[in-house]
Amino acid sequence: MGNSEYIIEMLNITKEFPGIVANDNVTLQLRKGEIHALLGENGAGKSTLMSILFGLYQPTSGIIKKNGQEVKINNPNDANALNIGMVHQHFKLVECFTVLDNIILGVEPVKGLFLSKKGAREKVMALSDKYGLKVNPDALISDITVGMQQRTEILKMLYRDNEILIFDEPTAVLTPQEIEELIKIMKNLAREGKSILFITHKLNEIMEVADRCTILRKGKYIGTVDIQNTTKEELSKMMVGRSVNFKVDKKPVKPGETVLQIEHMTVPSKLHKNNAVKDVSLQVRRGEIVCIAGIDGNGQTEFVHALTGLEKITGGRILFNGQDISKASIRERSKHGMSHIPEDRHKHGLVLDYTLEQNMVLQRYWQPEFQKYGFIRQGAVREYAQGLIGQYDVRSGQGPITIARSMSGGNQQKAIIAREIDKDPDLLVAVQPTRGLDVGAIEYIHSQLVAQRDKGKAVLLVSLELDEVMNVSDRILVMYEGELVGELDPKTVSVEELGLYMAGAKRDRQSSGIN
Amino acid sequence: MGVENATKKNKRIDLSSGVLSVAASLICILIGLLVGFIILCCINGEYAADGFSRIIKGGFYLMPKGIGTVLSQTAPLIMTGLSVAFAFKTGLFNIGAAGQYTVGALGALYFALILQMPWYVCLLAAMVFGAVWGAIPGIFKAYFNVNEVITAIMFNWIGLYAVNEIIYKGVLGSMYDLKTTKTYTLRGSAPQAVIPDMGLNAVFNTKSTTIAIFIAIVIAVLVYIIINKTTFGYELKACGHNKDAARYAGINEKKNIVLSMTIAGALSGIGAGLYYLSGVAEWNPQVSTALPAMGFNGIPVALLALSNPVGVIFAALFVSHITVGGGYLPTKYFQPEIADVIIAVIIYLCAFVSLFKGVVVEAVVKRRKKKAQTAPDGKEADE
């Protein structure tokens, strides 16, 4: 059957890892020229399935067909030969090469012993025009925006004449404007006959761009639906297995006394000579969620590190419950009632080689509750961990003695959140608490943040996700190039306007005053 | 994945994970011995079998003296092994065990020969001297971000030549016996400083077998408890696994680096004390231009034991066992260093321990699958 309806078929794919079945009899059929979304929670097996298609893993059983013919994909080179290309979530670009060099890397056109880039440049420019992928071929990757880096990745696939394009969570790193542009590009590509597989867990984007959607849950195939005949609610129900509440339920805000007051904070940058955080002043009160919005890399990380004590400040001061903690150690800040859900759960949040229970007491193993004369009270730790696991529904293979590394991202994050919230802090600093998590987990974490707020805690949320910023916060502060450029009310501001502030196109005042 | 299914499978594999490590180490040892045998065959095929059996028998070849020798050599080796293993737990590579051992030896000899202190005070002195020498690379690492390996190697040599000079020139007093070109013997000049043997020397017909081996074992168990049961051990391991997370948790990682290296140094120092207070060892400042092998042998011991303090006891026993065995090789045909070759091969293979683990797991899983498949038939599965 040479002229099959489907360009790629993955039939009854099963992939077992020791102790886990990542894909259990999954079938995925991609039509020529369609945009096909692959939807599922974290750990549902999306990445495994795509890695199989891209030749990184071999399926335990099941077959892959291209144009109706069975094929074997043993490595990414095979995939490439079958015209399958992939844009990874974390781009695979050489930072110090130009856009053009990155595109031709691996398939360099040569004349004798020398590179001949002229033909390549023409081909790239032609592709760039055809699909509306604006890039500057001579710019260095390290100098261009994330959006342009992504377009470079797409051009890389097109340059290799790939017909099947896999996008692994392509919108996670983009601003709203860039997302819109990407969606346009994807539709364009599909119109020109490319077939697109689009991995995501953002339902809005699926509704907007996809033709069909295949849903996985816990490694199992749930179904494939036409987007025209479905709704967001239905999709999320298929993905999570129950109905999900998208709107965060919140009572009106009732701010109390000030918990955190930052005055003219300045933090030097490790990357360049300028300060990463410039003269930032803000206040967080009890019973409110203040959100710092901004595009990644505008000083949020340094700001949080300085606030929690991981980095030193060079100017200004931090008042916490009226006390100056500018020079206090991390442990002292923690003791005073500051909790920190870190941005990078693998780097800071967890000791991955420790067990779950050891991680649960990472911030408080020294408290009398858990130690006696310097000896860890193993029983107390176990009991405490079991309590938190039950209360916060942290799922893992072996309960408290599971090695943290073997847990799924969502459950790792839940463990951190359980640990930090259970400290009963006055101030909860949550940095991108839902990064990379699925709808069910996001809903849960948002409700926890709101619950903390309603209990009269101060919550400082740092987020790159616009939905999160708009839904959860009571007050938005926009950070751009280390400065606070605007204070907005989520009830009155539009997403577009927020995007303009984040991109630096709009700002309120020169220096952010204390409100 | 079905959650129940997954937990069942996890449990099965976990059940054997402790056993796995031991099995993997044993595979290393077997292959190492095999390579040793092949080398013996290459050198002299005729006597290879005889030579090999002597190595395998180790201390048992010459009963009971050999066993006594193995035991007395094991004690300091356990200590240097612990020293390296302890630093490993904090993510540090203590290549300075040899230097700490050397300085520890000076401490022991000075307190024994000059100050005429009893053996336990001398042992403590060795510990303190070693600790100071270990602390220095720790301080450099923590506060100046200098790699501990570089500093430790430098301090190995600084320590060696300083100790030689101090003993030879009599800086701290006269320890050097011109007649023997070594330090005075403890039995002759400071019998109070010899570690008591509780009759062990009589049992084994040796001069060097003391209660040192028991001291070393007790310390190994203590180290095991510190690492696994205390908040201090928790902090050290957290720093070793993930420095950033440790900092995030408010753990003072600089303090822990210094402490870890200090304790590692102290352990090496005790090792030197156990050796030089056994009553048969003297320091020879003129010949000692090479660092004591005991210090470096701690590294293979720690590797073979996968840094487990209790494992260190057995690894040290094994290494001394075949080293002593190598000493019984007929020197006409073979060099005793063959034993070192075997140890080297074993250590080299230790790098593949995780690979062997994989092999073992696969074999186990395959067999279970087979069992599971044949199980419905009933009888076959039982066989």
pLDDT at residue A181 greater than cutoff 90 = no
End-of-domain residue from the set A214, A240, A266: A240
Residues in B touching A336 (Cβ below 8 Å): none
pLDDT of B352-383, one tens digit each?
766 777 777 777 767 766 666 554 444 433 33
Whether residue A204 sits in one domain with residue A94: yes
User: CB distance A398–B11 less than 8 Å?
Assistant: yes
Query: For residue A273, is it within any domain?
Result: yes
Q: Which residues in chain A have Cβ-Cβ distances shorter than 8 Å to B252?
A: 329, 331
In a domain, A1, yes or no: no
Q: What is the crossing angle of helices B119-144 and B148-169, to 10°?
A: 140
Percent of chain A past pLDDT 70, that is, above it, reads 96
Q: What is the pLDDT of residues A453-472, one digit of tens each?
A: 999 999 999 988 788 888 89
Q: Tell me: the pLDDT tens digits for A158-174?
A: 898 899 999 988 887 67
Region for A132 from its dihedrals, namely left if φ exceeds 0, alpha if ψ lies in -120 to 50, beta otherwise: left
> Is 80 exceeded by the pLDDT of residue B351?
no
Closest CA to B54 of B380, B372, B379, B342: B342
**Interacting residues of B23 by C-beta distance below 8 A, sequence separation 6+:** B356, B357, B360
Mean pLDDT score across all residues of chain B: 84
Pair A325, A234 in one domain: no
Binding-site residues on chain B for chain A (CB distance < 8 A):
1-3, 5-7, 9-11, 13-14, 229-232, 234, 237-238, 241-242, 244-252, 361, 365
Q: What is the tens place of the pLDDT at every residue in A401-432?
A: 888 888 877 788 889 999 999 988 999 999 98
> Do A286 and A403 have their domain in common?
yes
User: pLDDT band at residue B12, thresholds of 50, 70 and 90?
Assistant: very low
For B66-329, CATH gives 1.10.3470
For residues A155 and A290, membership in a common domain is answered with no
- A380 and A314 in a single domain? The answer is yes
* For residue A260, pLDDT beyond 90: yes
**Strand, helix or coil for residue B280:** coil
Q: Which residues of A touch B239 (CB under 8 A)?
A: none
B162 vs B203: which has the higher pLDDT: B162
User: How far does A229 lie from chain B, in Å, by closest CA?
Assistant: 29
Q: Domain residues for A318?
A: 258-502
- Whether the per-residue pLDDT at A272 is higher than 80: the answer is no
Cβ atoms A63, A11 nearer than 8 A: yes
Query: A293 in a domain, yes or no?
Result: yes
The reply to whether A358 falls in a domain is yes
Q: What percentage of residues in chain B have a pLDDT greater than 90?
A: 40
Tell whether A330 lies on the interface with B, counting CB pairs under 8 A: yes
Q: CA distances (Å), A121 to each of A70, A102, A111, in order?
A: 36, 12, 15
- Report which of B47, B119, B87, B95 is spatially closest to residue B262, judged by C-alpha positions: B87
User: Are A90 and A230 found together in one domain?
Assistant: yes
Higher pLDDT, A421 or A236: A421
Residue A129 has φ and ψ, to the nearest 5°, of -70, -45
pLDDT tens digits, one per residue of A320-369 = 998 899 889 999 999 999 999 998 888 899 999 899 999 999 988 999 99
More confident residue, B274 or A177: B274
CA distance B272 to B282: 11
More confidently predicted of B355 and B244: B244
Are B7 and A397 inside 8 Å of each other by CB?
yes
Same domain, A315 and A420: yes
Task: Sort out which chain B residues have CB atoms less than 8 A from A19's CB and list them.
Answer: 6, 9-10, 13
- Closest chain A C-alpha to B277 CA, distance in angstroms: 33
Q: Which residue intervals of A396-438 are DSSP H helices?
A: 409-422
Min Cα separation A377/chain B (Å): 8
Measured between beta carbons, the chain A residues lying within 8 angstroms of B234 are 358, 365, 376
Count how many domains chain A has: 2
Pick the residue from chain A with its C-alpha nearest to B244. Answer: A348
Q: Is the pLDDT of residue A113 over 80?
A: no
A400 touches chain B (CB under 8 A): no
Q: Residue B202 — very low, low, confident or very high, per pLDDT cuts 50/70/90?
A: confident
Q: What is the ipTM of this complex?
A: 0.76
Tell me the pLDDT band of A514, cut-offs 50, 70 and 90. very low
For residue A305, the one-letter residue type is: H
Q: For residue B81, what pLDDT band results from cuts at 50, 70 and 90? A: very high
pLDDT of residue A281: 92
Closest CA to A462 of A297, A335, A256: A297
Q: Are A199 and A230 in contact (CB under 8 A)?
A: no
Structure confidence by residue, pLDDT tens digits, A200-224 = 877 888 888 999 999 988 888 999 9
The domain boundary residue, chosen from A240, A267, A302: A240
Total residue count of chain B as it appears in this document: 383
Is the CB of A20 less than 8 angstroms away from the CB of B249? no
The answer to whether residue B118 scores a pLDDT higher than 70 is: yes
What ranges in A458-510 are assigned the alpha helix state H? 466-472, 495-502
| Shared-domain flag, residues A278 and A156 | no
Report how far Cα A482 is from the mean position of its chain's Cα atoms. 21
| Domain boundary pick from A240, A269, A298 | A240
Same structural domain for residues A358 and A468?
A: yes
Helix (H, G, I), strand (E, B) or coil at A283: strand
pLDDT score at A246: 66
Residue A239 has pLDDT above 90, yes or no: no
Q: State the Cα–Cα distance between residues B309 and B313, nearest whole angstrom.
A: 7
**Using one digit for the tens of pLDDT, what is the confidence trace for A33-46?**
999 999 887 667 88
Beta-carbon contacts of residue A373 (< 8 Å; ≥ 6 apart): none
What token pair was written down for A148? Answer: 């342009």
The lowest-confidence range among A11-15, A352-356, A398-402 is: A398-402
DSSP assignment of A40-96 equals E-TTSSHHHHHHHHTTSS--SEEEEEETTEEE---SHHHHHHTTEEEE-SS----TT
DSSP B375: G
Q: Is the residue at A249 inside a domain? A: no
Same domain, A295 and A421: yes
CB contact under 8 A, A362 and B249: yes
Is the pLDDT higher at A155 or at A90?
A155
Selection from B80, B68, B35 nearest residue B305 by Cα: B80
CA distances for A260 relative to A323, A340, A421, A448, B255, angstroms: 9, 14, 17, 20, 30
Would the pTM of this model clear 0.80, i.e. be above it?
A: no
Is the CB of A350 inside 8 Å of chain B's CB atoms? yes
Residue A439 lies in a domain: yes
CA distances from A305 to A174, A277, A308, B248 (A): 23, 11, 5, 9
Same domain, A75 and A212: yes
Choice among A60-74, A239-253, B189-203, B306-320 with the minimum mean pLDDT:
A239-253
Q: Tell me which residue in A24, A331, A376 faces B231 most closely, judged by beta carbons.
A: A376
How far apart are the two ends of chain A, measured CA to CA in Å? 70
Q: Please give the residue of chain B at the shortest CA–CA distance from A218.
A: B1
pLDDT at B316 over 70: yes
- Above 60 in pLDDT, residue B8? no
Mean pLDDT of chain A: 86
Buried-state track A46-79, b at ≥16 Cβ within 10 A, e below 16: bbbbbbbbbbebebeebebbbbeeebebeeeeeb
Are B268 and B132 within 8 A, CB to CB? no
Q: Does residue A508 fall inside a structural domain? A: no
Using pLDDT thresholds of 50, 70 and 90, give the confidence band for residue B279: confident
What is the reported pLDDT for B140? 94
Q: What's the CATH number where A293 sits?
A: 3.40.50.300
CA A503 to chain centre: 19
* Most trustworthy range by pLDDT among A17-26, A102-111, A160-169, B120-129: B120-129
Give the distance from residue B242's alpha carbon to the nearest chain A alpha carbon, in angstroms: 6
- At residue B207, the pLDDT reads 82
Min Cα separation B48/chain A (Å): 44
